[in-house]
Amino acid sequence: MARPLRIQYENAYYHVTCRGNSGQAIFSTDADRVAFLDLLERSSDIYQTQILAYVLMSNHFHLLIKTPSGNLQELMRHFNISYTSYYNWKHDQRGHLYQGRYKSFLVDADNYLQEVSRYIHLNPIRVKLNTPMSLEEKRRDLREYPWSSYGGYLWRGRRRAFLQTEEVLAYWGGDTAKGRRSYEGFVGEGISKKIQSPLEKGIGHGIIGESEFIEKIREKYLDSDTDSRELPAVKKIWAQIEPERIMEVICGVFGVSREEIMRKGTKGVGRGVLMEMLYRYGGMNQREIGEMMGVDYSAVSVMRKRLSMLQVRDRKLTALVGRIKRRLE
């Protein structure tokens, strides 16, 4: 079976997990957990990565990480070595602390960032599935669990300095009382009813995402001549095109000014084509495109889907989009 791909690029999102060797505990005391989070903060600062969510369990941990510099492997190598060295020194041990290397899934942030954050935050309850507890007791335990970022999502006062909640909470109205309550309700749905784990979508190829995202990743970061089963890591990065260059090409093709195509409510397909090209070639996700163009991220998704449907019926539009792609490539 093909091994999960290790793909690195700027502003990528990952779900990362690591388990203790032979199922052993990786935390013996709360002091170990504090040291773990301190070292995570230090490593994240050194490699300029962003920690969007975390949970520490007895024999494993989960992280949701964004890498603006495309350097997940460097971060995790440094961090895991740092914590292993601390733990072995503190408890007078030798040898491996973890069961092999960390495991990571590349995340389609536009569609699965919220789902993965919820999966991470539900872990303390998931291990108590066979424990008789009421729904309210489970919610209370989840809120009070001290070794998770969930409390920091609900209360700013419980948020560690390195935790970045903005991107996830942006889907719920931002880091406001209302946004935090809405996110709590979203996580609570995972307590009250059975929800499929988003990690299941990444089994085999290591990408948690819709088919369009997976295809985009394969096109951009994998050689068509290379058998991915032979690659423990895939590091080929295709140069992304500057958004201003994309803007210049599309404005030229449609004969409009930058101000016209950026104006909210502008008619025609030019705005939709711009959104599609920024997503496909500019390395931007739908939330970032929405912020740039003054609309909600969901509007970006709607316009991109509408463009795709229009091309099915309109050969001239398909040819026009093809011409733009050739210019950009």
Domain assignment present for residue 128? The answer is: yes
Of 82-96, 122-136, 195-209, 269-283, which has the strongest mean pLDDT?
Answer: 82-96
Residue 64, SS3? strand
Q: If 0-12 CB within 10 Å is exposed, 13-18 middle and 19+ buried, where does residue 292 land?
A: middle
**Mean pLDDT for the stretch of residues 158-171:** 95
Considering the domain architecture, whether residues 157 and 294 belong to the same structural domain is answered as no
Q: State pTM to two decimals.
A: 0.71
Domain end among 193, 212, 231: 212
Considering the domain architecture, whether residues 104 and 160 belong to the same structural domain is answered as yes
Tokens encoding 276 = 């599609």
Distance CA 245, CA 181 (A): 40
- Is the pLDDT at 212 greater than 50? The verdict is yes
- Is the pLDDT at 139 greater than 80? The verdict is yes
- Is the pLDDT at 231 greater than 80? The verdict is no
* Distance in Å from the first CA to the final CA of the chain: 33
Domain assignment present for residue 228? The answer is: no
Q: State the pLDDT confidence band at 20, using cuts at 50, 70 and 90.
A: very high
Q: pLDDT at position 236, please?
A: 35
Domain assignment present for residue 115? The answer is: yes
Q: Which residue has the higher pLDDT, 170 or 285?
A: 170
Considering the domain architecture, whether residues 22 and 78 belong to the same structural domain is answered as yes
Residues 6 or more apart whose CB falls under 8 angstroms from that of 275 comprise: 289, 293, 300, 303, 304, 307
The partner residues of 229 in beta bridges, in order of sequence, read none
Question: The domain that contains 36 carries what CATH number?
Answer: 3.30.70.1290
Q: State the pLDDT confidence band at 225, using cuts at 50, 70 and 90.
A: very low
- Is the pLDDT at 238 greater than 80? The verdict is no
Q: pLDDT at position 234, please?
A: 39
Q: State the pLDDT confidence band at 214, using cuts at 50, 70 and 90.
A: confident
The total number of structural domains in the chain stands at 2
DSSP 8-state code for residue 198? G
Tokens encoding 18 = 């690591």
- Is the pLDDT at 34 greater than 70? The verdict is yes
Q: State the pLDDT confidence band at 3, using cuts at 50, 70 and 90.
A: very low
Domain range for 151? 12-212
Considering the domain architecture, whether residues 196 and 82 belong to the same structural domain is answered as yes
Instruction: Please enumerate, as own/partner, the contacts of 43-51 that have beta carbons within 8 Å and a separation of 24 or more.
Output: 43/75, 43/78, 43/79, 43/82, 44/75, 44/79, 44/162, 45/162, 46/78, 47/71, 47/74, 47/75, 47/78, 49/75, 50/164, 51/149, 51/162, 51/163, 51/164
Q: pLDDT at position 128, please?
A: 67
Is there a contact between 245 and 324 (Cβ–Cβ < 8 Å)? no
Run of H or E including 52: strand 50-56
Residues across the chain? 329
| Torsion over CA: 212, 210, 204, 106 (sign) | positive
Considering the domain architecture, whether residues 194 and 254 belong to the same structural domain is answered as no
Considering the domain architecture, whether residues 206 and 308 belong to the same structural domain is answered as no
Distance CA 293, CA 275 (A): 9
**Mean pLDDT for the stretch of residues 185-209:** 87
Domain assignment present for residue 219? The answer is: no
Question: The domain that contains 300 carries what CATH number?
Answer: 1.10.1750.10
Tokens encoding 83 = 């914590």
Domain assignment present for residue 133? The answer is: yes
Provide, rounded to the nearest whole percent, the portion of the chain with pLDDT above 90: 50
Considering the domain architecture, whether residues 197 and 250 belong to the same structural domain is answered as no
Reference 97, options 169, 25, 180, 201; nearest CA is 25
Mean confidence (pLDDT) of the chain:
86
Considering the domain architecture, whether residues 197 and 308 belong to the same structural domain is answered as no
- Is the pLDDT at 161 greater than 90? The verdict is yes
**Mean pLDDT for the stretch of residues 287-315:** 83
